[in-house]
Structure 1
Amino acid sequence: MCRHIAYLGPPVALGEILTAPEHSLVRQSWEPRHQRSGTVNADGFGVGWYADGDPVPGRYRRSGPVWGDETFADLARVVRSTALLGAVRDATWAGADGEAAAAPFASGPLLFSHNGAVRGWPASLTRLAGTLPAERLLDLAARSDSALVWAFVLRRVAEGDELSGALADTVLDIAAAAPGSRLNLLLTDGAAIAATAWGDSLWYLHEPGVRTVVASEPYDDTPYWHEVPDRTLLTATRDDVLLTPLKEPPE
């Protein structure tokens, strides 16, 4: 379920990444090529981007399919950024949260997306959720597994973890509590990207010193894309990409 993408590089119109490529994120909303679960990603979408001189990103999110939103098409044509995170959502159950459940989730300089699903939700995470402060639970962005996963990541960042460590430890905690979950997470602060491949596809495109793109699947058929192995943590900047294997949590 879901598709997402993050970009770091020279200033580009959002549409150059999200709408213009042959197999762009918008096309992936109705015709994904590598999605392992779900079919049509029409239950919400969003994009977050960074403006010069402001570390806090702007966001545009809606609850419906991206292909029917003319305002998004205009925004993607004229807004330019050096860093962005976009996502299209395939919900696993009915809900009333609307655009609040659509990625990217945000806090301060951070943008976050979850491609996947927590198996056995919500019962499987009841015990783990109890480790969060009550105010963090009451402040959840939406009543969804992705919003709770974001709360776990955000707690680790607040405690001083780097982006990559916050994602890796969160994935291992949730995988231990809810085995069989799909936990492809994507996190950026506008300068670096951290992502996990855990149960679904993840790819990256890297031109050292120029641009880095991390996505659920390639947006074109050029040979420059590299698939990330399952159970892997990716950490990237414009200069380099590092892949670190993730071990299954002990049973």
Structure 2
Amino acid sequence: AMPALHLLGTGAAISDAHRTTTMLAVSDDASPSNTLVVDCGGDVLQRLQACGRAIDDVDGLLVTHAHMDHTSGFPLFMEKIWLDGRDRPIPVCGIEPALAQVRRTWDAFAPVHEGWEDIPPINWHKVPHEQGARLWTQAPWTVTVTPVDHGDTANVGLRVEHADADGVLAYSCDTAPTSSVVDLAEGADVLVHEANGVGDGHSTAAGAAEVAAEAGVDRLLLVHLPPGDKSNALREARQVFPHTDLGEELGTYGW
């Protein structure tokens, strides 16, 4: 079984015209129905379909933090899985502040969906905001979280391990460079790290590369990208960690 990473979106809240908000998925070619989606700050299921996966492949939704570009698409996510005929529950997993915001977006549409029949039940799964908390344990995935540095906003990065492929994927989420992500990503096959640029709770490309080098990962993919020319930022990052690339919108990567 080969795990795949799908970059459903690679942009910051505002980015290049061809990039939407940063959202990810992991899937398994041996069993597509084990797909996990990370964040929903847009039409995440359309992006998943664009990567060749079906709406019904989604096994769970993982939410990292409460910001709009990571949560605001949740009511549309629910409408789509309902229209697609899902009858099994949908697990929605995250730290409490993230889940609370997702729930508020859904409740805002209560006058619309209160008459709908057979909406899939939502299984809310709250995890502590602490290093090593297990967000997902259902085979083939084990997903653990670690708190990251996103200013005043509670947020977590993710470490995703695949039971059969001996593969490890790390995702920084939105953060300034921090030792917690070095620990999270140690020895990973792929680190997906934000490169929003200078600012509170964010990283430059070179800052992300320093984390990748310290963690000893095989490959660095930069996401949460700002608009405009990124060639200088990429060059600076590669001076620190040569195996660095800008995340490709709708790109699929084996790990």
Given the two structures, how large is their TM-score scaled by the length of structure 2?
A: 0.31
Higher RCO (C-alpha under 8 Å, 6+ residues apart): 1
**Larger strand percent:** 1
Given the two structures, how large is their TM-score scaled by the length of structure 1?
A: 0.31
